[in-house]
Structure 1
Amino acid sequence: MRKLDKDDIDIKNKIAVRMKALRGKTGKHMSAFASETDKDKQSQYRWETKGASILTVNKFCKEIGISVFDFFNDPVFKGK
């Protein structure tokens, strides 16, 4: 497996920040959100601290009712 470069780490961190912010907007704590979306709390925690794959982002977006475009169309992803 190749090592992540600085840009890869940056995007993973931004994904984590965005997932945490959107989950927070649901008004649900991490354990309640994970339970309601048939995930374990550890997975949700990992995604909110270390980022997630595009496939996971896509599932997350469906769960909260937004498009992948809307997920990435946020100031956290603008610029460097």
Structure 2
Amino acid sequence: MSAKLNEVDEKLKESIAKRITQLRVASGKRQSQFALENLELEKQVLQRLEAGRGASIYTINKFCKSIGISLSEFFNSEHFS
């Protein structure tokens, strides 16, 4: 059983999901195409990330590397202000 997230952590989770979606949409690729070509992952993994589930720092870092940005660039967004 997992612990319920507090309000701040829940907002962070939502912000990460929105940022991942924003960057993927900006790439002009569908989820399945982006997941396979950029992350070498199944579409379902990207769907979970965009839904705010399963985003470890390692997965976020892999996502960032796949699109050529740093972790600091990922988090330097209006989503995290």
Common fold by TM > 0.5: yes
Whether 1:33 aligns to 2:24 is no
Whether 1:14 aligns to 2:15 is yes
Aligned equivalents of 2:5, 2:59: Cα separation in 1 = 18
Aligned equivalents of 1:75, 1:44: Cα separation in 2 = 22
Give 1:35 deviation, angstroms. 1.1
SS at match of 2:51: helix
Question: Mean Cα displacement is larger for which, 9-18 or 48-57?
Answer: 48-57
Aligned equivalents of 1:7, 1:53: Cα separation in 2 = 17
- Sequence identity percentage: 46
SS at match of 1:27: coil
Match in the other structure for 1:2: 3
Give 1:2 deviation, angstroms. 2.9
Give 1:3 deviation, angstroms. 2.4
Aligned equivalents of 2:52, 2:17: Cα separation in 1 = 6
SS at match of 2:28: coil
The structure 1 segments of at least 4 consecutive aligned residues displaced by more than 2 Å after TM superposition are none
Whether 1:59 aligns to 2:62 is yes
Task: In structure 1, list runs of 5 or more residues that go unmatched.
Answer: none
Task: In structure 2, list runs of 5 or more residues that go unmatched.
Answer: none
Aligned equivalents of 2:15, 2:56: Cα separation in 1 = 12
Give 1:31 deviation, angstroms. 0.5
TM-score scaled by length of structure 1:
0.90
SS at match of 1:50: coil
Aligned alpha-carbon RMSD (Å): 1.1
